[in-house]
């Protein structure tokens, strides 16, 4: 698609919330190993399910899953054309199960391959060296410890390959059967260790390499075994501010540079949201490393394979967006390319490198006219201490960009980042006439180690100052009416919204908190067992450990619940009842405290959702309510 100038204001229609937050007609396509079929997500009974379509015949696409309770989000081709696998949890509880679909028997029901109540399957990957097999991590033995299992896809048989000794956070298995564990030391450092069973069946971990845990608040990404099993490709910032791609030798522990960018980090956003593109582009069926992704204002891809270097220019010519998900058949002949774009989301193309031919497979939201949507512009904002804050500004189409009501939209994490692309909430707000400001405050990932660590100890401090400085920047430049500013966010962004109305109550005319913690000490005390070990490098390092009385007192001082007496801003709170990360009590607590003081609070709870809503009717309800709430308070 070529760039088009947005339409004048008088031609801009008012977009319905359903148009922006309803299900796509199709999404998430990937190609089979033989290149003859694509699988994708599309609605069935108002839920996204997996469909399969032939690329070389006029057969009607076939829906191969039948989940009418909750949309499917993740699926996997296997090396056997008969089997397709998908993952599903229960109403947002994050207890993920792996299901198998028989593509040869349309009448057969999906089979739950991990039917263990209260347990979750993580780290699913097919095994190139063992056809018909897959690895996954299961915590059936101990909720806090994941053991490595091998799954026989056809029979469903599970075999324990390694029992977690207590500190392993992930496992690797080489084609020769050697096992390696990624472990966490008591000091929070990451170690790669070989699982040595020579001394007995229980095994012993022998360290290969150690990484400073403080450099990786969410773990090392990527961390992937090379196809020959002799090394690991990983994102390293050892002795560097930037995260680059290296190969670690499993025999010696030595790192060898594979690729880097002079000013950008590898794009590691998928460690938070696995649906986002991996920093490594690989052939799923051969394991070959094809390319690496870096992310600044926009994406940069480095081709690391000669064949992919020849293919990449052809793919990039298909759209003026950024190449997102990309898959190819085993031979690297046929390619399915999905593109990120601020105004043409998810356009998906098929490209045949043997013929040079390409065609558009679908646009997920064909009813959305790119000319009606608002462009997202990268900007750089100076903080009060001189730190430069990368940000994105979206202005309503065809409107004089002066004195606008403005929404400060704060990303979650906080170990994440905002990036260029399509965001339905941004487009809803811009369509209603708001300027939208998204700020990568200190502590955000993707801008180097120093920028990340500038957030240590700064929750409700300089991290929040960065947001306030961004609002001041927009007002000084005339974009924003300082009397009509709202703060809106989810997870950490919800916490930031609550901090906004408790620590800086004069800045905001309205606030929306979606599943944000109101009390940092109680929030950290209710996180699930499996998440506790990693806290040493993120929440405990950046905010504090509630087991230490002095740090607990500081956590409370940085918590919105400690300053409810300062709130006078209208507040909307949204919560999933099944949220295992920020439990419902965190929202109940702030709502009750404010209502007891007579402060206006609009509270929405969805009983069949967790940390972030999935079902479209719930998202539509939420954003309809948010639309009304902001219109009422920002006038």
Q: Please, what is the Cα angle at 445 between 622 and 240, to 5 degrees?
A: 175
Spot the catalytic one: 491, 518, 559, 562.
Answer: 491
Strand bridging mode 357-362 / 74-77:
unpaired
Q: Which residues contact 328 (CB under 8 A, 6 or more apart)?
A: 31, 35, 283, 311, 334, 335, 336
Q: In whole angstroms, what is the distance from residue 67 CA to residue 453 CA? A: 43
Q: What is the dihedral of CA 159, 162, 167, 171, to 10 degrees?
A: -80
Indicate the DSSP class of residue 122: E
Active site residue 491: yes
Active site residue 611: yes
Q: Please, what is the Cα angle at 593 between 590 and 594, to 5 degrees?
A: 85
Q: In whole angstroms, what is the distance from residue 157 CA to residue 138 CA? A: 14
Token pair belonging to 121: 């399957």
* Intra-chain end-to-end CA distance of the chain, in Å: 36
Q: Is 129 exposed, middle or buried (0-12, 13-18, 19+ CB in 10 A)?
A: middle
Spot the catalytic one: 76, 149, 464, 611.
Answer: 611
Give the Cβ contact number of residue 536 at 10 Å.
19
Indicate the DSSP class of residue 612: B
CA distances from 146 to 142, 216, 438 (A): 7, 20, 36
Reduced to 3 states (helix: H, G, I; strand: E, B; else coil), residue 177 is coil
Query: Helices (DSSP H) in 305-412: which residue ranges?
Result: 306-316
Active-site residue set? 491, 579, 611
């Amino acid at each position: 698609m070529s760039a088009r100038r947005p339409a004048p204001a008088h031609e801009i229609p008012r977009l319905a919330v359903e148009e922006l937050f309803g299900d796509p007609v199709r999404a998430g396509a990937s190609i089979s190993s033989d290149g003859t079929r694509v699988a994708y997500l599309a609605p069935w009974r108002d839920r996204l399910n997996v469909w399969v379509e032939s690329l070389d015949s006029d057969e009607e696409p076939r829906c191969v899953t039948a989940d009418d309770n909750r949309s499917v989000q993740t699926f996997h081709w296997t090396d056997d054309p008969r089997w397709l696998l998908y993952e599903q949890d229960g109403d947002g509880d994050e207890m993920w199960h792996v299901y198998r679909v028989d593509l040869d028997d349309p009448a057969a029901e999906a089979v739950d391959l991990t039917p263990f109540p209260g347990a979750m399957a993580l780290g699913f990957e097919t095994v190139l060296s063992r056809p018909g097999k897959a690895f996954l991590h299961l915590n059936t033995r101990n909720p806090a410890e994941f053991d490595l299992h091998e799954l026989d896809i056809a029979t469903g048989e599970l075999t324990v390959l390694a029992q977690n000794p207590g500190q392993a956070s992930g496992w690797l298995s080489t084609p020769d059967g050697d096992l390696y564990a990624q472990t966490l030391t008591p000091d929070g450092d990451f170690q790669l260790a070989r699982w040595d069973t020579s001394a007995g069946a229980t095994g012993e971990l022998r360290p290969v390499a150690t990484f400073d845990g403080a450099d990786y608040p969410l773990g090392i990404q990527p961390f992937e075994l090379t196809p020959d099993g002799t090394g690991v490709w990983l994102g390293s910032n050892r002795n560097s501010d930037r995260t680059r791609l290296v190969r670690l030798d499993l025999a010696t522990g030595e790192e060898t540079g594979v690729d880097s960018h002079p000013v950008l980090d590898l794009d590691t956003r998928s460690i938070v949201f696995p649906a986002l593109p991996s920093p490594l582009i690989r052939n799923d069926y051969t394991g070959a490393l094809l390319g690496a992704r870096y992310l600044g204002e926009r994406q940069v891809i480095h081709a690391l394979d000669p064949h992919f270097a020849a293919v990449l220019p052809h793919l990039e010519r298909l759209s003026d967006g950024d190449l997102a998900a990309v898959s190819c058949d085993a031979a690297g002949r046929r390619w399915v390319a999905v593109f990120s774009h601020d105004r043409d989301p998810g356009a998906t193309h098929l490209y045949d490198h043997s013929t040079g031919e390409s065609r558009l497979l679908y646009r997920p939201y064909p009813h959305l006219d790119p000319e009606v949507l608002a462009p997202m512009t990268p900007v750089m904002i100076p903080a009060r201490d001189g730190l430069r804050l990368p940000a994105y500004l979206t202005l309503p189409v065809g409107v004089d960009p002066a004195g606008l009501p403005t929404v400060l939209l704060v990303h979650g994490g906080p170990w994440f980042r905002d990036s260029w692309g399509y965001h339905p909430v941004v487009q809803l707000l811009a369509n209603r006439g708001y300027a939208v400001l998204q700020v990568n405050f200190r502590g955000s990932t993707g801008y180097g180690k120093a920028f990340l660590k500038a957030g240590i100890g700064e929750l409700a401090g300089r991290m929040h100052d960065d947001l306030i400085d961004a609002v001041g920047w927009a007002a000084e430049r005339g974009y924003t009416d300082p009397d009509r500013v709202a703060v809106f966010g989810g997870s950490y962004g919800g916490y930031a919204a609550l901090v906004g109305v408790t620590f800086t109550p004069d800045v905001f005319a309205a606030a929306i908190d979606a599943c944000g913690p109101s009390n940092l000490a109680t929030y950290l005390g209710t996180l699930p067992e499996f998440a506790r070990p990693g806290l040493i490098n993120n929440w405990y390092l950046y905010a504090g450990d509630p087991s230490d009385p002095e740090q607990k007192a500081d956590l409370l001082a940085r918590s919105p619940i400690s300053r409810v007496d300062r709130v006078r801003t209208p507040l909307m709170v949204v919560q999933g009842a099944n949220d295992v990360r920020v439990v419902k009590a965190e929202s109940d607590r702030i709502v009750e405290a404010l209502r007891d003081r007579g402060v206006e609070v609009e509270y929405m709870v969805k009983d069949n959702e967790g940390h972030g809503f999935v079902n479209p009717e719930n998202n539509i309800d939420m954003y309809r309510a948010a639309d009304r709430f902001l219109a009422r308070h920002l006038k």
